Amino acid sequence: MLKILIPTMMLFPTIWFSQLKWLWHNLMYNSMMIAMLSLTWFNLSSELSTQVNKFMGLDYVSAPLLILTCWLLPLMTLASQNHLKNNPTTRQRTYTLMLVTLQVSLILAFSSTELILFYISFETTLIPTLIIITRWGNQNERLSAGTYFLFYTLMGSLPLLIALLMLYSYNGSLSLNMFIINVPFVLENSYVLWFACMLAFMVKMPLYGMHLWLPKAHVEAPIAGSMILAAVLLKLGGYGMMRITMLLTPLMKELPYLFIILALWGVLMTGFICMRQTDLKALIAYSSVSHMGLVVAAILIQTPWSFTGAMILMIAHGLISSALFCLANMNYERTHSRTMLLTRGMQTIMPLMMMWWLLVNLSNMAIPPTLNLWGELTIIISLFNWSNWTILMTGLGTLITAMYTLYMFIITQRGPTPYHLQMVMNYTREHYLMTLHLLPMLLLMFNPELISG
């Protein structure tokens, strides 16, 4: 763990003392080396959990999410260079420092075995994300988006803090290892406690009904903000739900039914919202809510198959949604508009970029043999075993996902090219960025067991 954490923290002086002409190069090369080093976490021992020290540990649930976090920093660095090239030196340094701070807090959150350390790291991610959205967002509405993001997250996590303090007063410890032994005997049938523990993670996922902050935050955030939000910060909610549901299993019998129904209903509703979107980033943001609805339902029914499907879909969605936001940003940098009708016919201007759009959209709609299909199919089967009626919602949800994904592809790539668009070359940086998104997807197709939890 320290071989990743210490080099990541050493990026702080690297960023601050680098010359401007080497700033992005240094960050890119060093973060890429850290990402490559993090791949060793795939090679865990056969034990269920590897305790690194008193407060940190690794297992098959946290390791894939930690690797995804480390893999994303060089990708955010690549994607942000054009957005920040006209900013003063201090602002460029501050922006990159926020990205590294976010990575450090996420590594601590995913690896902590003490629940209070997890809570502190979970809340720490709020500060750099809020600064990135409100300072480097594209439109004037970024302040209201930041306010939504702040208050939704804070209101959700306050009950979690109270619940953790209650658990500490009962057990005298918040270690995950101690919890498995003590909690079932002390807090039988405490439904309020279960809901208080889960609320923060349901807001973070987000569950349908608590999702209003997400489209606003995505639409107003700069490209790195959208990438980290979609790829990792939403998964922080899923990871927290996995940990808490496994600990508080005896407390919940019929209680999750309402939230499973709400999550599956959200898959349909957000799919229909995607069908009538005109804003490209808002469409991708709502599709994230739709996919996360499946993950929430899978985690709440708590079967081995559903946990496996949730893990695979979280990793696959992290890479694919990040790639979609990168493609949307490439269009935005050339047209200065997110309205899909104004950016149609891009195939004739950038034919090679159309190939990336096609591959990412096909993965998003879960065609064989992509990771998204593995995840969705496993979740749908486990939900069907839980209740036969869920096949109606999940089947309709996958159909609607295919419809709005094809709609997004056709309306941005096909049709007549508007006169105001100029012929613009693609950059090697952009192709390298898309390759780094899709290469892990391609390799993991051959061995999805690595991320199956």
| Residue where the block lists tokens 């500490």 | 168
Query: What confidence score (pLDDT) does residue 189 get?
Result: 53
Share the mean pLDDT of the chain: 88
**Residues 148, 138: Cα–Cα separation, whole Å:** 17
When pLDDT is averaged across residues 396-409 and rounded to a whole number, the result is: 93
**Residues 169, 146: Cα–Cα separation, whole Å:** 34
Query: What confidence score (pLDDT) does residue 185 get?
Result: 44
Percent of the chain past pLDDT 70, that is, above it, reads 94
Q: Are 257 and 149 in contact (CB under 8 A)?
A: no
Percent of the chain past pLDDT 90, that is, above it, reads 51
Stronger pLDDT, 2 or 158, i.e. the higher one: 158
The helix/strand/coil state of 1 is coil
Q: Are 67 and 231 in contact (CB under 8 A)?
A: no
| 356 has pLDDT over 90 | yes
**Residues 52, 61: Cα–Cα separation, whole Å:** 15
Q: Are 414 and 347 in contact (CB under 8 A)?
A: yes
Query: What confidence score (pLDDT) does residue 382 get?
Result: 94
- Look at the alpha carbons of 126, 131, 133, 139 in this order and tell me if their dihedral is positive or negative: positive
When pLDDT is averaged across residues 134-157 and rounded to a whole number, the result is: 87
Instruction: Name the CA dihedral angle for 416, 417, 419, 422, rounded to a multiple of 10 degrees.
Output: -170
Q: Where are the alpha helices (DSSP H) in 85-141?
A: 89-111, 115-124, 126-136
Which residues are 56's β-sheet partners?
A: 112
The domain locations on the chain are: 257-453
Per-residue pLDDT band for 417 (boundaries 50, 70, 90) equals confident
| 22 has pLDDT over 60 | yes
When pLDDT is averaged across residues 154-172 and rounded to a whole number, the result is: 86
Q: Which two tokens stand for residue 399?
A: 């159909």
- From 14, 10, 35, select the one nearest 26 (Cα to Cα): 14
Query: What confidence score (pLDDT) does residue 414 get?
Result: 84
Of the listed ranges 92-96, 250-254, 323-327, 331-335, the one predicted with least confidence: 250-254
| 368 has pLDDT over 80 | yes
User: Other CB atoms closer than 10 Å to residue 164's CB: what's the count?
Assistant: 17
CA distance to 119, 160, 183, per residue, from 186 (Å):
22, 18, 5
| 419 has pLDDT over 80 | no
- From 95, 104, 85, select the one nearest 133 (Cα to Cα): 95
Show Cβ contacts of residue 16 under 8 Å, excluding neighbours closer than 6 positions.
93, 97
| 313 has pLDDT over 60 | yes
Query: What confidence score (pLDDT) does residue 46 get?
Result: 61
| HEC readout, the chain | CHHHHHHHHCHHHHHHHCCHHHHHHHHHHHHHHHHHHHHHHHCCCCCCEEECCCCEEEECCHHHHHHHHHHHHHHHHHHHHHHHCCCCHHHHHHHHHHHHHHHHHHHHHHHECEHHHHHHHHHHCHHHHHHHHHHHCCCCCHHHHHHHHHHHHHHHHHHHHHHHHHHHHHHCCCEHHHHHHHHHHHCCCCHHHHHHHHHHHHHHCCCCCCCCHHHHHHHHCCHHHHHHHHHHHHHHHHHHHHHHHHHCHHHCCCCCHHHHHHHHHHHHHHHHHHHCCCEHHHHHHHHHHHHHHHHHHHHHHCCHHHHHHHHHHHHHHHHHHHHHHHHHHHHHHHHCCCEHHHHCCHHHHCHHHHHHHHHHHHHHCCCCCCHHHHHHHHHHHHHHHHCCCHHHHHHHHHHHHHHHHHHHHHHHHCCCCCCCCCCCCCCHHHHHHHHHHHHHHHHHHHCHHHHCC
Stronger pLDDT, 310 or 349, i.e. the higher one: 310
- From 253, 324, 255, 256, select the one nearest 296 (Cα to Cα): 256
**Residues 398, 363: Cα–Cα separation, whole Å:** 12
Per-residue pLDDT band for 48 (boundaries 50, 70, 90) equals low
CA 289 from centroid of its chain's CA atoms: 11
Which residues are 112's β-sheet partners?
A: 56
- pLDDT tens digits for range 174-188: 887 776 555 554 455
The enclosing H or E element of 57 equals strand 57-59
